[in-house]
Structure formats: C-alpha cells, structure tokens
Structure 1
Amino acid sequence: MEFEKYHPIMTAHYVLDWLTTYKVKDVFALRHDASVAQASGRSVDTDIMATAAYVNHMMSLVMNNNALIWGVGDKVTNDYLGTFMLWDVSEKSAAVGYELLPAMQQQGVMGEVLTHMISFAFDELHLQQLIADTASDNAASQALLVAHGFTRQPDFNREDATVSGTPQLMWRFVLNAKER
C-alpha cells in the first residue's frame, strides 16, 4: 500500500489531512496537555521542538508506508482538533489511535471520525481487524469504542508508564470486519 495517497479524507464535518497541514503550535497544544497524554498512555511533549520532531517522525512513517496519521480539522474553520492514526498496519490488521483537544472531547467529533475511518480501514484498505488500546480508566474512549462495535479483550492487560512515571493499565479493544 502507498499510504501517502490517503489524504485528505473528508467526513460530513471534518477533514483528516497530514499533520504538516496544521501549525506545530496547535499540535503542541494537544501533545503538551497532561490529561490527553495520560489518557493515551504517552508522555507529554515538554516543548514545541519535541512536537516538531514528533510531526517529522510521524510523516516519515507515512512516507515509508509504516503508518497513517492525520490531523483532524474542522471542515468550516479548518481549526486543528486532534489526531487519528492507524499504525502497525499489516495486510490484515491495524492499531487505531486518536486524541482530541480537551475542549473538543465528548462533542461527537471522534464518533463521526471513527465511523468513517472504520469504513475506510475495512473497505479501502481491506483490513480484517482493528485494535485499540486505551487506558483502563478512560471510560469515554471505552464507551466510544464499544458504541462502534469494538469488544474488550479481557485477557489483555498491559502497563505503560504515564506522564508521572507511574504505571497506567491499558485495555485492548478489537473490531473484526465480519462483526461490524
């Protein structure tokens, strides 16, 4: 698959385009937010240079057909709202990840984006399975995944280091193409 051709992707209200389409300072606002980082099980970007390095690294993964990551923007205002990512892509499966600015959470943004991207993954990329890992205490993300047909894999529990360095329990959710 040639990943670089998969942009922009449009939903009814949002545009998914390469991270380089958006201002680094806007991406930094997301990557610097401690609550978003903890919910995703990643560390906080401490400065804008770390975010610039992240954007460059992620776009390198896209250009080398190793991952797909998009900035999510408002279709009308073009404001940066968050990110959506498919990585660990094989011929049959991919991992799903997403983050939204705190002000945009629980506003229906990711519900619309996830619905569209599930169809994209199964119908365009012909994947058979999507996998999403989320923090065990991230009830909003878990509810979103379950509402979109993902099921929790009770035998999967992983601890990741959080922003503070304390372990964060991660749960896995899976959606199979034949079950949607």
Structure 2
Amino acid sequence: MSSFEGYHPLLTPNFRFDWLTQFRLKQVSQLTHQDLAETAEWVNATMRHTMARTALTWGIERRATHKLVGWGGFERLNLQQKTGRTYLTGPKLPANEQQEIVNRLVHFAQEELGLDDLELEASANLDTAVLTAAGLLQRGDVWHWQRR
C-alpha cells in the first residue's frame, strides 16, 4: 500500500481506532492535558508522520459510549527494515480491554505492516500479563516481539 489511508477506521469488538482528526479536538486535548492550540499542533504533526509513513497513530474510542479512551499505534517505523515500536497511551484500562487493544496492535504489525521486529516501551498503564499473552518478551525496559 502506498499510503496508510486505508488503515482507518479499524474495529475490534469494543473499540474503534481512527485518525485523531476524526475526534473532537476538545476530547483529544483532555487526554493529552494540553490546551487546544498545543493539541491541534500535535495532531497535525502526528498526521504528517502518518502520511510520511514513519508513524501510524490512531485515537482509540470505546464503541459503546463513543468515548475517546487513549491513542496508540506505531512510531519509528522502518518498513524497509521491517521494524517499529508500538505504544498505547492514556489512562489505565481494565486488563481485558488492554488485551483487546494490544492484540490488535501486534496483529496489525505482523499482518498489515509485515514487521519482523516490534518493540513496546514498558508502561505502568499496561499489565505485564497482557503483554506476555500478546507474545511480547521483556528485555530490560522494553518489551519485544520478533517473527520467528
């Protein structure tokens, strides 16, 4: 795929992953704890990285309530070397919801982006059992997945 345009929205049973531009700026601002101008600048920069195919970021909305619960995706993408880093940011969610989101990110990295090597920085907002169940192994402060 020459662009990431087709990679939104993504749906899981409980969540919708969509470009940050598809959410109200005020909702995003509340999650980022920035004022509207700073948030708008951040959203625009994020979308520039997505269009340049060096990152891929979605706002993550709970489908039942249409509430934005965080954002996540991929950064440090190198599609030629098949490497990247995934992340999930926002308030801590219940483990079953974390699992649904993390599994979607890991499978997306494998199936859609064709990555062979994926990292995730350790976070207090992610349960280690969730990361282990998604096939990630901890190495220091970084969780790692590698295609075998």
TM-score, normalised relative to structure 2: 0.87
User: Against the structure 1 CA distance between its residues 128 and 79, is the aligned structure 2 distance closer, same or farther, given a 3 Å change threshold?
Assistant: same
Q: Which residue of 2 aligns with 1:60?
A: 48
Q: Alignment partner of 1:3: what SS?
A: coil
- Equivalent in 86, 89, 98 of residue 88 of structure 2: 98
- Counterpart contact for 2:95–2:127, Cα < 8 Å: no
User: Against the structure 1 CA distance between its residues 176 and 101, is the aligned structure 2 distance closer, same or farther, given a 3 Å change threshold?
Assistant: same
Q: Which residue of 1 aligns with 2:21?
A: 20
**Structure 1: 5+ residue runs without aligned partners?**
33-44, 155-170
Matches within 5 A, 1:1-180: 1-32=2-33, 45=34, 47-91=35-79, 92-102=82-92, 105-106=93-94, 108-135=96-123, 138=124, 140-154=126-140, 171-178=141-148
- The amino acid that maps onto 1:176 is Q
**1:141 to partner: Cα distance:** 4.1
Q: CA RMSD in A?
A: 1.8
Q: Deviations over 1:148-172 (max 9, x none)?
A: 2211113xxxxxxxxxxxxxxxx11
d(CA) in 2 for partners of 1:48, 1:65: 26
- Counterpart contact for 1:3–1:67, Cα < 8 Å: no
Percent identity over the alignment is: 27
Q: Alignment partner of 2:31: what SS?
A: helix
Number of aligned positions between the proteins: 145
User: Against the structure 1 CA distance between its residues 107 and 26, is the aligned structure 2 distance closer, same or farther, given a 3 Å change threshold?
Assistant: farther
- The amino acid that maps onto 1:120 is F
**Structure 2: 5+ residue runs without aligned partners?**
none
TM-score, normalised relative to structure 1: 0.73
Q: Which structure's CA Rg is the greater one?
A: 1
- Counterpart contact for 1:129–1:176, Cα < 8 Å: yes
Greater relative contact order (Cα < 8 A, sep 6+): 1
Q: Alignment partner of 2:60: what SS?
A: strand
